[in-house]
Amino acid sequence: MTIQISIPTRRSLRTLVAGGAGFIGSHICDTLLRRGDTVICIDNLHTGSVRNIRPLLNHPNFSFIEHDVREPLEIEGRLDRVYNFACPASPPHYQQDPVGTMKTCVLGTLNLLELAQQKSARILQASTSEVYGDPEVHPQPENYVGHVNTIGPRACYDEGKRAAETLMFDYQRMYGTEIKVARIFNTYGPRMHENDGRVVSNFIVQALRGAPITVYGSGNQTRSFCFVDDLVRGLEMLMESPVSVTGPVNLGNPHEMSIEAIAREVLTCTRSSSTLEFKPLPVDDPKRRKPVISTAERLLGWRPQIPLRKGLEATIAYFALEVAGRGPSGPEKRPQRRQGRAQLAIARSP
């Protein structure tokens, strides 16, 4: 179940989505195809999943290339837009290979910027609220420079994304590349990975299984949760905004709530008998997180529209199928042979 939001039609574009088989990237692919774009999805399937794009594989305007953005790539023919979502985004995934995470953020962004520059394409970097670290300013506006521990276990992601933003603006200043930078706050919805360690997916899966709900820390730390359809609409609006709008632009829901409160909301929506189980807070875990979205409101006319309860119902419906075993299961059938690390991934013009 996905909540649809009407998106204005624009001229057909040829768009590359890096990390397009992931949670947010696959929703972007859906949206772009619905508006009539030709979409080239690239993903190394490290955290992305073929199941997220399987319905698109036979679409005449969609092509998939299994490729790691840490390696250079070529795209034959014109290219109008590049979305960069290519990076593990949950702590268990990005901490599993911290050096690989940093390389994806830096080398991957550099390779995509080179491609965008060669093709005179506009590029959007999916940055993150993690660039603010464990913030000392609350709520967080875009001009806050952050409070990040450069040597902590989360630094590979936090600092990697900060470096990616630096590259984006350096390419704009040096080469005139058309850039957009979105700082994405906590997002939830269908296609989240069941074991990605994020708050909403963890709570829903545990509640559906009747297992204790794991709450780290006191449960008083806060987050702001944005439904994926709201986020995708904001990303598209940012990408298609005037050239002068570069960002960074916070995209997230300014409704702040405690971790314990979201856990109890999940229990209500699932009608689960699970209990709360409190565990120590992980190192450098942010205590408060809430975006200032006045820039998005002023420049894009964007703000979230989907209430938490409605978004949770859609997300719970998705995970209910996964937990019950009625969703896709077993080893994934990869639609294309893995590209060698030294090869160039080439997508031909239709």
Phi, psi of 63 (to 5 degrees): -135, 145
Residue type (1 letter), 341: R
Which is catalytic among the residues 83, 94, 132, 157?
157
Residue 27 token pair: 């929703």
User: Is residue 157 flagged as an active site residue?
Assistant: yes
Cis check: omega of the bond before 282, within 30 degrees of 0: no
Q: How far, in whole angstroms, is CA 341 from its chain's centroid?
A: 24
Distance CA 129, CA 251 (A): 9
d(CA 70, CA 107): 5
C-alpha to C-alpha distance for 205 and 270, rounded to whole angstroms: 10
State whether residue 55 is helix, strand or coil.
Answer: helix
User: At 183, is the secondary structure helix, strand, or coil?
Assistant: strand
Tokens 């014109």, residue located: 78
Cβ neighbours, 10 Å, residue 277: 13
The CA distance from 322 to 257, in Å, is: 27
Tell me whether strands 256-258 and 222-224 are parallel, antiparallel or unpaired: antiparallel
Residue 95: CB atoms within 10 Å: 17
b/e per residue 118-146 (b: at least 16 CB within 10 A): ebebbbbbbbbbbbbbbbeeebbebebeb
Own/partner pairs for 336-343, CB < 8 Å, 24+ apart?
Answer: 336/64, 336/65, 336/66, 337/66, 338/66, 339/65, 339/66, 339/67, 339/68, 339/71, 341/68, 341/71, 342/71, 343/71
Could you give the residue numbers annotated as active site?
157
